[in-house]
């Protein structure tokens, strides 16, 4: 399973966006205050989510607890719980059900990250060793299953079964997206349309469900629920496009995870799809040759081929379109702190550190 998003909204990009400097250097020191000011309207609920997350995953086996503690380092800024809680807050009052559901979506997301690292044979996430690198694929797969099973156990405690059905539908779509991507590995003729279908299912669908659940459980009407679902879907697509750009041209020390895995696993992403559609014939032929080669330096050579081309900027422009679509979906919401934070979060997607 592959999720959503993979690299979370970084503290450096948050600070840089708010100071207007665009510089990541030294930003981390002020990030805690910036984040706290942005999420102050849901601070109590975020604290409760942390407690529910820890209590639900606690085991009487020390070895299991050690794995859970390690994977908890990958949680970043909890984008998906933020989306759920802010969507609820933008539509009305938050309840205990929102806290439970925010913990549920974080568990689902964490499971997809752990499974994703197995599929990609990744060694690094958030500047730390992945579970599969530390303990092997067997432990990583079982830990991902452990997270998924606990998410359903937690969700089943709610009076309404609506959330359980929506979470089940979403995890099915995440798996479908990953299976569609696997089916298209090494397909150098992959279309942009199919690429968008893949990332919509495997990444954006969970973000959309977060916003749907948050607004639905706050008592919002169908029109408003639909607007927030569109916001989540759009920000999720933009997030994955940006993530795919970072996998090609990011710096591992800044992004904090193993890069180049898309190329190594034969996953065609938007910059490469655009390049193969628009570049001069000899450059297209070179990229095709590199993608099918076993050269040790092929990732670096592909990066050097794509960087001077318009294809990276094209992918960024497509991500920007989805960010604007997300912001547009918020226009009819009341002008509240929660709505303003959702709007600001959309801008963070495009300013993540390279």
CA 209 to chain centre: 13
Query: Which pLDDT score is estimated for 140?
Result: 85
How far is the C-alpha of 8 from the C-alpha of 134, rounded, in Å?
21
How far is the C-alpha of 148 from the C-alpha of 18, rounded, in Å?
35
- Residue listed under structure tokens 């297209």: 284
Helix (H) or strand (E) holding 124: strand 124-125
Q: What are 63-118's pLDDT values in tens digits?
A: 989 888 888 877 767 889 999 999 999 999 999 999 999 999 999 998 988 887 77
Mean pLDDT of the chain: 84
pTM: 0.85
Q: Indicate the pLDDT class of residue 216, thresholds 50, 70 and 90.
A: very high
More confident residue, 274 or 134: 274
How far is the C-alpha of 54 from the C-alpha of 89, rounded, in Å?
23
Q: How large is the average pLDDT for residues 161-171?
A: 93
φ and ψ at residue 124, rounded to 5 degrees: -135, 135
Residues contacting 20, CB < 8 A, separation 6+ = none
Q: Indicate the pLDDT class of residue 17, thresholds 50, 70 and 90.
A: very low
The two structure tokens encoding residue 106: 């974080």
Q: Indicate the pLDDT class of residue 204, thresholds 50, 70 and 90.
A: very high
CB 326 within 8 A of CB 231: yes
CA 244 to chain centre: 11
Query: Which pLDDT score is estimated for 18?
Result: 38
């Amino acid at each position: 399973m592959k999720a959503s998003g993979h690299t979370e909204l970084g503290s450096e990009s948050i600070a840089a966006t708010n100071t207007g400097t665009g510089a990541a250097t030294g930003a981390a020191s002020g990030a805690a205050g910036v984040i706290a000011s942005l999420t102050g309207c849901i601070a109590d609920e975020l604290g409760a989510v942390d407690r529910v997350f820890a209590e639900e995953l606690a085991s009487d086996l020390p070895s299991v607890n050690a794995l859970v503690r390690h994977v908890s380092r990958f949680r970043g800024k909890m984008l998906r719980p933020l989306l759920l809680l802010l969507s609820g807050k933008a539509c009305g009052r938050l309840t205990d059900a929102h806290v439970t559901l925010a913990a549920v979506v974080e568990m689902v997301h964490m499971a997809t990250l752990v499974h994703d690292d197995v599929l990609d044979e990744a060694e690094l996430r958030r500047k730390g060793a992945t579970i599969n690198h530390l303990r092997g694929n067997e432990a990583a797969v079982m830990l991902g299953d452990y997270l998924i099973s606990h998410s359903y156990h937690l969700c089943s405690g709610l009076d309404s079964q609506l959330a359980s059905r929506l979470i089940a539908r979403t995890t099915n779509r995440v798996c479908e997206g990953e299976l569609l991507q696997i089916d298209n590995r090494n397909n150098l003729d992959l279309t942009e349309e199919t690429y968008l279908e893949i990332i919509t299912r495997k990444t954006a669908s969970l973000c959309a469900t977060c916003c749907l659940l948050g607004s639905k459980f706050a008592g919002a009407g169908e029109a408003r629920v639909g607007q927030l679902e569109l916001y989540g879907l759009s920000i999720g697509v933009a997030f994955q496009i940006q993530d795919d750009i970072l996998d090609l041209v990011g710096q591992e020390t800044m992004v904090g995870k193993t890069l180049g895995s898309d190329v190594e696993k034969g996953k065609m992403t938007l910059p490469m799809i655009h390049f193969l559609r628009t570049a001069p014939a000899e450059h297209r032929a070179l990229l095709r040759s590199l993608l099918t080669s076993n050269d040790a330096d092929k990732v670096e050579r592909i990066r050097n081929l794509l960087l001077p081309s318009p294809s990276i900027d094209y992918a960024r422009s497509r991500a920007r379109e989805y960010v604007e679509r997300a912001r547009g979906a918020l226009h009819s919401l009341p002008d509240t702190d929660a709505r303003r934070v959702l709007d600001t979060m959309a801008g963070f997607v495009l300013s993540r550190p390279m």
